[in-house]
Structure 1
Amino acid sequence: MSTDRAPAAPSPAADEAPLRVLLPQILPALVVGAGSGLLFLGISALSEEFKHVLWEDLPDALGIGGYSSLWMITMLTATGVAVGLVVWKTPGHAGPDPATTGLGGAPIAPGAVPGLLLAGTLALAGGVSLGPENPIIASNIALAYWAGRRLAPAVPGIAWISLATAATIGALFGTPVAAALVISEALAGHPGPGSLWDRLFAPLLAAGTGAMTTQLLAEPTFALGLPPLTDPGWEDLLAALVIASAAALFGLAACYLFPYVHAAARRLRHPMLMLPLGGLVLGLLGALGGHLTLFKGLEEIKELTANIGGWSSGELAKLAVVKLVALLVAASCGFRGGRIFPAVFIGAAFGLLTQALVPEVHPAVAVSSAVLGVLLATTRQGWISLFTGAVLAASPAVLALLCLASLPAWLIVTGRPQLELDENGRSLR
């Protein structure tokens, strides 16, 4: 999913003192940052409660296994029906086609926000292989833009988009670093007056506020508990180079297939056909791959990496392939959700597969390199891919390996199709 269209932060006018320009940005950045974090936490908590009811309380009351094949097929199909009704009947139809959206972008109409949040919450709770990032970011952008243009009409609209994007990314990752990297990458394509830090000031403050809101109320962690890499050698570098490149090729397979799967789903035309049928297919895939291939993938990654050495290469290959197909189906059929978190699961499963085939490869190198490769292929964002791979490994020594491993992987993916389509259903490159 491309973030090439993420808005650049506004820059101070060349003839104004930076202090006089930056100080008035503090309060809006704090408000947008806290509000974005609270909306993310609220939707996350609601989806988790609903998930608990659907996958634990209800099957227990019926005497059915929560992750039996029958229940997975039933629940995913029912989720498709529920999301289809939301997309069909709510104002704004829950936003634009999710296959054509990435992180950030132009604000949607405020009236579409309730439907988008409801569709995203149902997908998260129902086991759809998508993450929360796209609906939450789109909703925060729409609300910040709508309120900002009314309360402070003199402020450029792009400023509110930039603040909401940075704040939500900070809240999602629990750190402003990811947001700073994304915004810096956007600024690289939009040069303007003022120093980089002047232009990053308000988005970074919003991202920090969003991250602290999440940290104080939820204490998220992305560390997987992988064995630390303390003394990398040449063999680790070779492994990182090979695994990242192979994972990038694996991720590109999804990018090449995406427009064809999307076109097949669009032939059904109506959301009450696309989404229930998509839910049925996802349920069948869940029955094939097991419960780890359901949901956004973050908790499932932790369960996967908690048993390193306990998975056969065949099991890990099945997990990676089934999750990749589930991501394609979910994104193509109109389920509202993001594609980063499932892509991370795919990368982790692919990395553990390589480690199972070649046990001499360090687990931290295998997982982080594979996640890097898959994210480079699907997002085309170098900084965010490096950041995610390094955070999952929680080992500073891995970062140097990932920087070098990203270079051949980038040569493989650059100019190739991304996991995002234009309005005509063609792949972005």
Structure 2
Amino acid sequence: MAQDTAQTPVAPPAPARALLPLILPALVVGVVASLLFVGVSAAAEQLQDVLWKNLPDALGVGRYSVLWMMVMLTATGVLVGLVVWKAPGHAGPDPATTGLDAPVLPPAVLPGLLLATALMLAGGPSLGPENPIIAVNVGVAFWLGSRLVPRMPGAVWPMLAEAATIGALFGTPVAAALLISEALAERRTKGALWDNVFAPLVAAAAGALTTDLVDHPTFDLDLPPIGRPGWGDLLAALVIASAAALLGLCAVYAFPYVHGAFARLGHPMLMLPAGGVVLGLLAALGGRLTLFKGLDEVGELAADPEGWSAGQFATMTVVKLAALLVAASCGFRGGRIFPAVFVGTALGLTAHALVPGVHPAVGVATAVLGVLLAITRHGWLSLFVAAVLVASPTIIALLCFASLPAWLLVTGRPQMQLRKDGTPVR
């Protein structure tokens, strides 16, 4: 054993003097990324109130009537289509081809991407802010950082911005640290792990703390607490996570075909309004809770697990997944994590409604885990999000067991991200 240890090369730790200069830039990037995220979210919420409360009230139309949902989602498709058509750089690349690791976009593209994102968030399509906000923060950090601190390697700025934005999105640096560790393992980066994550973790912590101080986010759904888990809880976790992963894979496999159908329309002023019409029809079927990114709506579902029947929960699950698929395919700028959380929550509550012996917290956490594994293919992020929804140490062991069959189902399968030629990334 001693001989093996002596023969194993150990990478020397990065000296403190190499890490210290990164602290201030990481702090600045973290604060700026968080403020940009909070600002865009606040502006979108104000616009949402105008579009979905003030305007229909002034017109004497029901706020979430079928007519108003159809009008608003179609109009949102038209407005975002105009931005994508006319804005410099067409509001960034096709969102179906991007993930959390955003490319560095030219500065001229970023205002159009921000505007398209704010309109989408306010108008009701089922996408979250994560992908475009990360892309904007990466572009801003790279453009400013490379000019203000030219001696730093250019690759540092996107890494800091991604970590900072993820920390800001979830109000904790843990999610960013897990994603960075996963990315470093894939790239087989040399050096000590903590040397490599030092600066991104500073940025993520600064972003998370800024968001906490300014916006006070919370992901805990305040579901009934879990006692000591039993064999029934373990069985439920394994079955529900696997079923959720299979459901998520249905959307993943349909993604290139739905995207191809919209792409054949050939112009954003056809693709996005058509997507808005389809989303309006889905909203008419699923109801108002299937609109928007889904985070507030998840809280409403979890506040009353007995408030809907199994059929209603199942309908919302399918409709929200279809809305996510359509919105991501037709060109709306947005991410897939937050609506996927809604899909998992509704599916978990469906399981509880069908089998009352399934604890609602177990159903929700494991279903969210399975859906996120299928859609994001980020194991650590999926575990983290599922765990923070149910603030209980008990759930973590169940989630770890439940992730095993779910991961076996999704690994090696296509991802919900396409190449430029329309083929799925694997």
Pick the TM interval, shorter chain: over 0.9
Structure 1 residue 195: deviation in Å? 1.3
- 1:334-349 aligned within 5 A: 334-349=331-346
User: Cα RMSD (Å) of the superposition?
Assistant: 1.0
Of 98, 103, 107, which residue of structure 2 is paired with 1:106? 103
Residues 214-253 of structure 1: CA distance to partner in whole angstroms, max 9, x if unpaired? 0000100001110111211111111100100000000000
Structure 1 residue 108: deviation in Å? 1.1
Aligned partner letter, 2:221: L
Rounded Cα–Cα distance in structure 2 between residues aligned with 1:355 and 1:46? 36
- 1:25-424 aligned within 5 A: 25-424=22-421
Rounded Cα–Cα distance in structure 2 between residues aligned with 1:193 and 1:245? 35
Residues 76-95 of structure 1: CA distance to partner in whole angstroms, max 9, x if unpaired? 00000000000000101000
- Give the SS at the match of 1:155: coil
Rounded Cα–Cα distance in structure 2 between residues aligned with 1:194 and 1:327? 39
Residues 244-269 of structure 1: CA distance to partner in whole angstroms, max 9, x if unpaired? 00000000000000000000000001
Structure 1 residue 347: deviation in Å? 0.6
Aligned partner letter, 2:289: L
Rounded Cα–Cα distance in structure 1 between residues aligned with 2:13 and 2:131? 36
Rounded Cα–Cα distance in structure 1 between residues aligned with 2:232 and 2:190? 46
* Cα pair 1:176 1:204 within 8 Å, conserved: yes
Structure 1 residue 106: deviation in Å? 2.0
* Cα pair 2:237 2:362 within 8 Å, conserved: yes
* Cα pair 1:104 1:141 within 8 Å, conserved: no
Rounded Cα–Cα distance in structure 1 between residues aligned with 2:419 and 2:287? 33
Residues 347-392 of structure 1: CA distance to partner in whole angstroms, max 9, x if unpaired? 1111111111111011110000000000000011110000000000
Rounded Cα–Cα distance in structure 2 between residues aligned with 1:361 and 1:272? 46
- Aligned residue in 2 for 1:3: none
* Cα pair 2:13 2:192 within 8 Å, conserved: no
Rounded Cα–Cα distance in structure 1 between residues aligned with 2:334 and 2:83? 14
Residues 56-81 of structure 1: CA distance to partner in whole angstroms, max 9, x if unpaired? 00011111111000000000000000
* Cα pair 1:248 1:413 within 8 Å, conserved: yes
* Cα pair 1:102 1:134 within 8 Å, conserved: yes
Percent of aligned positions that are identical: 68
Aligned partner letter, 1:102: G
Q: Structure 1 residues 273, 194: closer, same or farther in 2, change over 3 A?
A: same
Structure 1: which 4+ aligned runs deviate by more than 4 Å? Answer: 14-17
- Could you tell me which runs of 5 or more consecutive residues in structure 1 were left unpaired when the two chains were aligned: 1-13
Structure 1 residue 276: deviation in Å? 0.7
TM normalised by structure 1 equals 0.96
* Cα pair 2:13 2:195 within 8 Å, conserved: no
Rounded Cα–Cα distance in structure 1 between residues aligned with 2:96 and 2:189? 31
- Could you tell me which runs of 5 or more consecutive residues in structure 2 were left unpaired when the two chains were aligned: 1-10
- Give the SS at the match of 2:417: coil
Residues 42-69 of structure 1: CA distance to partner in whole angstroms, max 9, x if unpaired? 0000000000000000011111111000
